[in-house]
Amino acid sequence: MRQWHAAPPAPGPGLVADLVGALGTPDFARRLLDGLRAEVPADSWSAYRLGAQPALLMSASTEAEDRTRACWSAYLSGPHRHDRSLAAPTASGDAALRLCHAVASDMQPEHRARVYEAHGMAERVSVVRREHDGSLLALNFYRHQGRRPYADAALQSLGEVATAVVALVDKQLALRTPAPSPRARLAARWPALTARELDVCERLLRGLSHDGVAADLGLSVTTVKTLRNRAFDRLGIHQRSQLFALAQGTQA
- Predicted confidence (pLDDT) per residue in 164-184, tens digit: 899 999 999 988 877 778 888
Task: Please tell me the distance from the alpha carbon of residue 36 to that of residue 140, in angstroms, as a whole number.
Answer: 13
46: left (phi over 0), alpha (psi -120 to 50) or beta: beta
Task: Please tell me the distance from the alpha carbon of residue 145 to that of residue 62, in angstroms, as a whole number.
Answer: 14
CB burial readout 35-66, b (16+ within 10 A) else e: bbeeebbbbbbbbbbbeeeeebbbbbbeeeeb
User: What does the pLDDT read at residue 198?
Assistant: 94
pLDDT band of 28, cuts 50, 70, 90:
very high
pLDDT mean over 92-102:
76
Choose between 127 and 248: higher pLDDT: 127
Assess whether pLDDT exceeds 90 at residue 129: yes
Task: Please tell me the distance from the alpha carbon of residue 116 to that of residue 118, in angstroms, as a whole number.
Answer: 6
Domains recognised in the chain with CATH numbers: 2-176 (3.30.450.80), 182-247 (1.10.10.10)
pTM, two decimal places: 0.68
Residues 173-213 have pLDDT tens digits of 988 877 778 888 888 888 999 999 999 999 999 889 999 99
